[in-house]
Structure 1
Amino acid sequence: MIYTVTFNPAIDYVVRMSSELLPGMTNRSNSEECYFGGKGINVSTILKNLGLENTALGFTAGFTGKAIVESVNSKGILADFIELPEGMSRINVKIKGQAETEINAQGPKIPEDAQNKLFDKIKELKDGDILILAGSIPNSLPSDVYERIIALVADRKIDVVVDATKDLLKNVLKYHPFLIKPNNHELGEMFDTVLKTDEELEIHAKKLQEMGARNVLISMAGDGAMLIAETGEKFRIGVPKGKVRNSVGAGDSMVAGFIAGYLKTGSYEEALKMGTAAGSATAFSDDLATGEAITQLYQNL
């Protein structure tokens, strides 16, 4: 079974305007939509769209949390969230006008007993399972929570995927995660430098491998992606042509597509292709990509 973890899921309330947002004034929208997610849930959704069963773990609270659980279940994903006693899951406001403005909420506090309930669920994972950890850590959780979670399964044959940044990512490398996915800017930030060439990206990705990572997937937006595989191979790919409509969830889609591609083919090269197709298909959509859209792009890469 594949498990994803979303510490701080959210409802994204997207407001579309044809005019400029005017502070201090009454503004009127052209349309509104709600999207239910969070990085782990986004990964779960793409995995399911590609035909892979998975379970979404994490925390929810209040009436918004109940709506998130209902949304996850409606997609055919098993929602196994811990309901928090106080607060409510986030509503993030995304205003898309002549410029894009976002207000991201903080989310509920996660008490220690709820954290321990999540740890207990993680302890139940079995050999052959995959655990995907994605996103930042709410300030009510300890800064080493990723390390503590991975340590719980370190003695088992469980592939761990981590999509995080800076020290959050560096500190888990000692547990030899199966896959990490920094983008090119994040990779540079981890070494306090700016990486401009493929050669520089490869050199620094291999440094992360020396620190413990097995496979390093580097996303580069419109410039494509690079994979430095544990086999010693390097794979490089561009992106398909299309109109970018939405950047939210594209990185999560790439992670899900990579895992789906690898599980289906056993090939790192094909995994990179499927990951690129999934990330691009979401970027070309208003919401997370459908399985059909991903497959069509994959076949043309």
Structure 2
Amino acid sequence: MTQTPRRVIHTGQAMVDLVLEVDHLPARGGNVMADRATRYAGGSVTIVVAAARSGAAAVLAGAVGTGPNGDLVREVLEREGVEVSAPPVEELDTGVCVVLVEPSAERTFVTTRAAERRITAGSLATSAAAPGDLVCLSGYTLFEPTRDPLLAWVEGLPEGVEVVLDPGAPFATFDAGLVERVLARTTVWTSNAAEAAELTGVEGSPADLCDAVAARLPEGAVVVVRDGPQGCAVRVEAETTPVAGFPQTPVDTNGAGDTHTGALCAEVAGGRGWVEAARRANAAGAIKVTRRGPATAPTSAEVDDFLASR
């Protein structure tokens, strides 16, 4: 019997990033000139594109609008072989995230809300998540009006679906009851160190943070805590392993964490263990920061070449 391939399904916001490259951020009420302005498909697009380029069957279950921004999102996803499962949102375009990128590659965001917020439990269900699939949640979807339909759908998922939580900066600020409700359904946590520290109140290494986050999750949950160019730590079956990174001179860090998440999930979907998947995700993130734009993840072959040269 042929085994059904595991898929990477994302429920978050597919948006358009308007990336402005600036010498510095303006003072409040001030002005600054941008050296370059570019529109990219971004947000959850970055994760599903990274997953597809790492060889996974990738699905966007989130909402996409109708208009120039929605058209750009669909064009990029079609080119990358990513399925968009839900029908388009009529008479409303996809929103924009304005990204200010400084010479250090640090970035600052201003985000609108539009068609990508028009999800329902029914629209998410078009992805037909099945046991073995990896369903990715973003903490940013836990704002209204996307919070309630997302939770209603997630809590009805069949046993055996991996629920991968990328909490984002706001997660630890939510109501304690909401936080616990989400954590109770999370089987994989992946975040940066600051987000893990905000949740747990622990100050320590990524390995310490892995252990602290695991104490908040169901038994057997996997925890990944990223530490930028230094790599990450991975906790699997009560054992925590540091996984070294590949420091690069960055030109754009926008989308580096999302690239890591997409590659990580794809590698696991393809049969690799979590530690080896994290090593390859570290490499994918390292390659990405040398490229401009959010959805510029490397292919699996490019990761192979990168690792072979190390």
Given the two structures, how large is their TM-score scaled by the length of structure 2? 0.81
Larger mean CA deviation between 193-202 and 245-254 belongs to: 193-202
Q: Take 2:214 and 2:31, find their aligned partners in 1: how far apart are those partners?
A: 52
Per the TM alignment, residue 223 of structure 1 is displaced from its structure 2 partner at its CA by 3.1
Q: Which runs of 5+ in 1 are unaligned?
A: none
- Letter of the 2:19 partner, please give it: V
* Partner of residue 158, structure 1: 161
* Partner of residue 56, structure 1: 60
Going from structure 1 to structure 2, the CA distance change for 1:184 and 1:100 (only over 3 Å counts) comes to closer
* Partner of residue 201, structure 1: 209
Which of 268, 272, 283 is 2:289 aligned to? 283
Which of 30, 43, 48 is 1:44 aligned to? 48
- Letter of the 1:182 partner, please give it: S
Q: Which runs of 5+ in 2 are unaligned?
A: 1-5
Per the TM alignment, residue 24 of structure 1 is displaced from its structure 2 partner at its CA by 6.8
* Partner of residue 81, structure 2: 76
Partners of 1:62 and 1:87 within 8 A in 2: yes
Partners of 2:251 and 2:291 within 8 A in 1: yes
* Partner of residue 238, structure 2: 232
Per the TM alignment, residue 182 of structure 1 is displaced from its structure 2 partner at its CA by 2.4
Going from structure 1 to structure 2, the CA distance change for 1:16 and 1:110 (only over 3 Å counts) comes to closer
Q: Take 1:279 and 1:244, find their aligned partners in 2: how far apart are those partners?
A: 10
Residue by residue over 1:20-67, the C-alpha shift from the partner in whole angstroms, topping out at 9 and shown as x without a partner, is 75887886543322210213x211101111122222111122312122
Any idea what SS the aligned residue of 2:156 has?
helix
Going from structure 1 to structure 2, the CA distance change for 1:215 and 1:13 (only over 3 Å counts) comes to same
- Letter of the 1:160 partner, please give it: V
| % identical aligned pairs | 15
Any idea what SS the aligned residue of 2:278 has?
helix
Residue by residue over 1:223-272, the C-alpha shift from the partner in whole angstroms, topping out at 9 and shown as x without a partner, is 3210111x222110221131122222111111122223333453222112
Any idea what SS the aligned residue of 1:257 has?
helix
- Letter of the 2:213 partner, please give it: A
Q: Take 2:30 and 2:89, find their aligned partners in 1: how far apart are those partners?
A: 36
Partners of 1:92 and 1:105 within 8 A in 2: yes
Count of residue correspondences: 292
* Partner of residue 13, structure 1: 18
Given the two structures, how large is their TM-score scaled by the length of structure 1? 0.83
Residue by residue over 1:121-148, the C-alpha shift from the partner in whole angstroms, topping out at 9 and shown as x without a partner, is 25x3333333222341274425344432
| In the alignment, structure 1 residue 214 sits paired with structure 2 residue 221 | yes
Q: Take 1:282 and 1:129, find their aligned partners in 2: how far apart are those partners?
A: 25
Structure of greater relative contact order (alpha carbons < 8 Å, 6+ residues apart): 2
Q: Take 1:19 and 1:284, find their aligned partners in 2: how far apart are those partners?
A: 20
Going from structure 1 to structure 2, the CA distance change for 1:171 and 1:294 (only over 3 Å counts) comes to farther
| In the alignment, structure 1 residue 181 sits paired with structure 2 residue 190 | yes
Q: Take 1:145 and 1:48, find their aligned partners in 2: how far apart are those partners?
A: 26
Partners of 1:8 and 1:107 within 8 A in 2: no
Which of 235, 242, 265 is 2:248 aligned to? 242
- Letter of the 1:290 partner, please give it: P
Q: Take 1:9 and 1:294, find their aligned partners in 2: how far apart are those partners?
A: 25
Per the TM alignment, residue 202 of structure 1 is displaced from its structure 2 partner at its CA by 4.0
Q: Take 2:129 and 2:24, find their aligned partners in 1: how far apart are those partners?
A: 50
Q: What does 1:62-101 correspond to in 2, within 5 Å?
A: 62-63=66-67, 64-97=69-102, 101=108
- Letter of the 1:61 partner, please give it: G
* Partner of residue 182, structure 2: 172
Which of 106, 110, 113 is 1:103 aligned to? 110
- Letter of the 1:187 partner, please give it: A
Partners of 2:210 and 2:235 within 8 A in 1: yes
Q: Take 1:101 and 1:90, find their aligned partners in 2: how far apart are those partners?
A: 17
- Letter of the 2:277 partner, please give it: A
Q: Take 1:233 and 1:139, find their aligned partners in 2: how far apart are those partners?
A: 33
Any idea what SS the aligned residue of 1:171 has?
helix
| In the alignment, structure 1 residue 129 sits paired with structure 2 residue 133 | yes
Per the TM alignment, residue 195 of structure 1 is displaced from its structure 2 partner at its CA by 1.3
Partners of 1:61 and 1:108 within 8 A in 2: yes
- Letter of the 1:31 partner, please give it: R
Q: Take 1:169 and 1:273, find their aligned partners in 2: how far apart are those partners?
A: 29
Partners of 2:13 and 2:116 within 8 A in 1: no
- Letter of the 1:118 partner, please give it: S
